[in-house]
Amino acid sequence: VTAADDAQEADRAGGMIVDMSTNFRPHDPADQAPSTKDVEPRLSLGLDTFGDLAVGDDGQPISYAEAIRLVVEEAVMADGAGVDAFAVGEHHRPEYSISSPEMVLGGIASRTERIRLGSGVTVLSSDDPVRVFQRFATLDAIARGRAEVILGRGSFTESFPLFGYDLRDYDVLFEEKLDLFVKLLDERPVTWSGTTRAPLEDADVFPKTEAGLRTWVGVGGTPQSVIRTARHGLRLMLAVIGGRPQRFRPYLELYRKACEEFGTTAWPVGLHSPGFVAETDEEAREMYWPGYQSMRNRIGVERGWPPASRQEFEHEIAGGSLYVGSPDTVARKIATTVADLGVARFDLIYTMGPQARSARLRAVELFGTRVAPIVRELVGHRTEVTA
């Protein structure tokens, strides 16, 4: 830890206790006092989407407006089906309809009762931390304390030129803005200065929330990001989009140990991965593959990957990080991941490119009514056995 880090820590030490206690929400099952046990008393199961443009009954992509309304319908369905959390991710690409997560979540908030509403992720690097806090504090009011924000650097870069940021500042933008955001979480006047936005002197920010804003950092596997999240005392959401999920186990240990060293709270860790649920394994695969292939190839062209192969797809389903299949298959795979890693939250990114809208809505329903109960039973059983 450098001298600068030390100074930052010391500077914030006074506010940290307040921050964490206000951030604590007793009514949330995942918020039981963090224990040293691997498995939390109750697991949170969520659904994530970027508002992908689905395909209508006529086989044509639906409009952006329809895609946004579809996400709202799916969230309402998820709420009714017993899903614990719903997250929408910010993107600025033609395949996705959601660039303003809080707007969509505000609409969802007014039509749902119990589901937790978050972004996954909010690209903090190319946004203003003050505005991000204000928007989510506002959402939290409408949602009656159900709002949460997952901050990230994002895996795409379109937002940088769009909002006038330089990619060369990729690291410093996130570092500085996260630092400011953490100060804002105290909900007291903030004094801050840096190189990426105008300084603040004793600036008070409104609205205040009723019980603090739950804040996560989405991390894709960079060890340094795990440590940064621990240093700030924020929650860790692992984005696992390929390979064996079990390989992330040391990252959870790293997070806990780093929290211990920094004297911050080691919150229960979450994980999100892509997948899809249908009545049968075969149906799920056939529904998922065309969208997977299309998205994987579109992104692959930009990243220099060769075209997607069916073999790689099947390989990821069998032993990697694609949770595609019948409710039973998906539930077993999720339960294994949850138990092996000891995560307290699992979110399924349930949309992938141009899928049939009716199949998507059905996947949401199946996830809540069929997958979630099996996962809970399996994880509970396994916890008893290993306890």
Partner 1 sequence: MSDHGPPVIGIVGAGKLGTVLARLALGAGYDVLLASSGPPQRLALIAQFLAPGAETVTAYEAIRRADVVILAIPLSRLPEMPPADLAGKVVVDATNHWLEVDGRRQEILPDAEGTSEYVQRLLPQARVVKAFNHIGYHDLDGAGLPPGDPRRRAVAIASDDHDALDFVAELVDGLGFDPVALGDLRAGRRLEPGTPAFGASLSASDLRAVLGEPVCHPDAA
- Closest to partner 1 by CB, 163 vs 305, is 305
Q: Alpha-carbon distance 208 to 204, whole Å?
A: 10
Q: In Å, what is the CA distance from 274 to each residue of 128, 140, 196, 339? A: 29, 27, 33, 18
Beta bridge partners of residue 149, listed in sequence order: 215
Q: From residue 58 to residue 97, what is the string marking binding to partner 1 with x (rule CB under 8 A)?
A: ----------------------------------------
342: alpha, beta or left, given left = phi > 0 and alpha = psi -120 to 50? Answer: left
- Given 93, 244, 362, 376, the residue binding partner 1 (CB under 8 A): 244
Out of 36, 58, 164, 168, the residue judged to bind partner 1 by CB under 8 A: 168
Instruction: Quote the least distance from Cβ 227 to partner 1, whole Å.
Output: 6
Distance CA 89, CA 78 (A): 17
Q: Measured from the CB of residue 2, what is the shortest distance to partner 1 in angstroms?
A: 5
Least CB distance from residue 323 to partner 1, whole Å?
16
| 224 is a contact residue toward partner 1 (CB under 8 A) | yes
Cis, bond preceding 207 (omega within 30 deg of 0): yes
250 touches partner 1 by CB under 8 A = yes
Q: Judged by CB under 8 A, which of 18, 103, 172, 254 binds partner 1?
A: 254
Residues shown for the chain = 387
> Which residue lies nearer to partner 1 by CB, 77 or 295?
295
Q: Where are the beta strands (DSSP E) in 84-166?
A: 85-88, 116-119, 122-123, 147-152
Give the nearest distance from C-beta 36 to partner 1 in angstroms: 16
**DSSP 3-state helix, strand, coil percentages of the chain (rounded to 5)?**
50, 15, 35
Contact between 36 and partner 1 (CB under 8 A)? Answer: no
Binding positions for partner 1, 352-371, rule CB under 8 A: none
First to last CA, the chain: 36
- Please tell me whether residue 26 binds partner 1 under the rule CB under 8 A: no
Is residue 82 exposed (0-12), middle (13-18) or buried (19+ Cβ within 10 Å)? middle
Q: How far is the CB of 254 from partner 1 (least distance, A)?
A: 4
Distance CA 252, CA 244 (A): 15
Nearer to partner 1 by Cβ, of 3 and 65: the residue is 3
Total residues at the site for partner 1 (CB under 8 A)? 29
Is residue 304 within the footprint of partner 1 (CB under 8 A)?
A: yes
Main-chain phi, psi angles of 85, to 5 degrees:
-145, 155
Which C-beta is closer to partner 1: that of 314 or that of 328? 314
Closest among 291, 293, 143, 158 to 214, alpha carbons compared = 143
Candidates 83-91, 108-116, 301-309, 352-360; binding stretch for partner 1 (CB under 8 A): 301-309
Which position among 303, 318, 385, 387 is part of the footprint of partner 1 (CB under 8 A)? 303
- The answer to whether the Cα torsion of 375, 378, 381, 382 is positive or negative is negative
Question: Tokens 């809080």 sit at which residue?
Answer: 102
Q: In the complex with partner 1, which residue's Cβ is closer, 144 or 247?
A: 247
Residues in contact with partner 1 by the rule CB under 8 A:
1-2, 5, 155, 157, 167-168, 170, 221-224, 227, 242-244, 247, 250-251, 253-254, 257-258, 261, 300, 303-306
